[in-house]
Amino acid sequence: MRFLRLFTKGFFVTINFAVVLLFLAACLAPYISPAWFWPISFITLAFPFLLGLLVIFLIGWLFFNYRYAFLSLIAIFLGWKSISAFVALNITGGNKVPPAAQPGLTVMSYNVSQFGLYRERDSKYNRLAMFALIKKQELDIACFQDFYTSEKKNDFNNREDISREMKLPYRFFSSDFNRNGMQHWGSIIYSRYPIIAADKVKMSVGPRSESLIYADIVKGTDTIRIVNMHLESYRFNAKDYNAIQKIKNQEDTGLVATKSIVQKMREAYIRRSQQADIVGGFIKQSPYPVIVCGDFNDTPASYTYFTIKGDLQDAFLQKGLGIGRTFNGLAPTLRIDYVFASADFKINSFRKIISDLSDHYPVIANLSLIGSGQATVEVNK
């Protein structure tokens, strides 16, 4: 009996120690670029589950042998920086304040998934529903990723239609990809206020590379820089998602595609880290207070997140609650869409809209600024 107790205790101590090591490795990810050591990025995907296991061990040891609880407690203390970026603890967070009752700028970041262009269900309905959702928010600034627009007859000119219907007359569009000069894909910034300067910055090279875009807007005497981006995705296709499901179901046939999936993830981690370095450097050079929006395709435990965020405020952490999932596929813990702001802003509110119109949820922040700037010209593209 004594042997069984010792064996059981030793088994759980060993498992606890292994979880601690993996957890601390995940907490090192913000400091280690995947371009230098990419495997660490895979561990960050397990960060919330490792944290959950640590908490379970902590509570369990308090009941059975409190001395071993220090193992988890020390790990949580050492990893607090990553934990505090992952979980928002605002008790009143997530309250849906009516836009009309809010001061300052109301800003949305939304990966619109081309407004359902290639969805199996009716894309026209999907587009109209998304337009209605966006219009209801009464936005001052809208940053969209995976944006599609067209000048073809009988197609959707989303670029013009949103300006008109949402009363957002000023815009800047990256048009990173186009077909016959008529159909365009990329990221776009819309503004209720004049844009005095705007441009795009290539974040990587290659035929499928996208751009960081920025627009300097003027509200009264204040000039504010808006930054929008769509970082490298895993580029999973239907075959890959099917293979992932087989792996989840522990089917032998799913193992065949594992190598391909890991390779795609490796390439994405490396490219995102390189893009994050470019984006982080660009933001630091801003002459104005800055608001950053985007689909980072990476979690708050990642090198990408910490490199871009730097000293900026994360609107979700300031006013949200919980883990803030923004991607409705793969796993229930993926927060990959963000609104950041420099210290010049006060963040009044943050909210997320649960909607299946895209595979991403729109996130909305309201921010107030104390500052000043200069203005002269406007850009419309």
Fold classification of 99-369 is Deoxyribonuclease I; Chain A (3.60.10)
Residue 18 CB: number of other CB atoms within 10 A?
12
Q: What are the backbone angles phi and psi of residue 153, rounded to the nearest 5°?
A: -65, 140
Question: 305 with 334: CB under 8 angstroms?
Answer: no
Spatial distance between the Cα atoms of 299 and 46, rounded to a whole number of angstroms: 10
Spatial distance between the Cα atoms of 16 and 62, rounded to a whole number of angstroms: 14
- Beta-sheet strands, E only, within 91-140: 105-111
3-state secondary structure of 183: strand
Whole-structure pTM value: 0.89
Question: 82 with 323: CB under 8 angstroms?
Answer: no
Read off the amino acid at residue 143: C
Structure tokens at 61: 């040891």
Read off the amino acid at residue 342: S
Q: pLDDT truncated to tens, each residue of the chain (381 aa)?
A: 666 666 677 888 999 999 999 999 999 999 999 989 999 998 999 999 999 999 999 999 999 888 999 999 999 999 999 999 999 988 765 555 555 556 789 999 999 999 987 765 677 889 999 999 999 999 999 999 999 999 888 889 999 999 999 999 999 999 988 888 789 999 999 999 999 999 999 998 776 789 999 999 999 889 999 999 999 988 765 565 565 555 555 555 555 557 778 888 899 999 999 999 999 999 999 999 999 999 999 999 999 999 999 999 999 999 999 999 999 876 778 999 999 999 999 999 999 999 999 999 999 999 998 754 444 444 556
Residue intervals in the chain for CATH 3.60.10.10: 99-369
Spatial distance between the Cα atoms of 131 and 49, rounded to a whole number of angstroms: 36
DSSP tag of 225: E
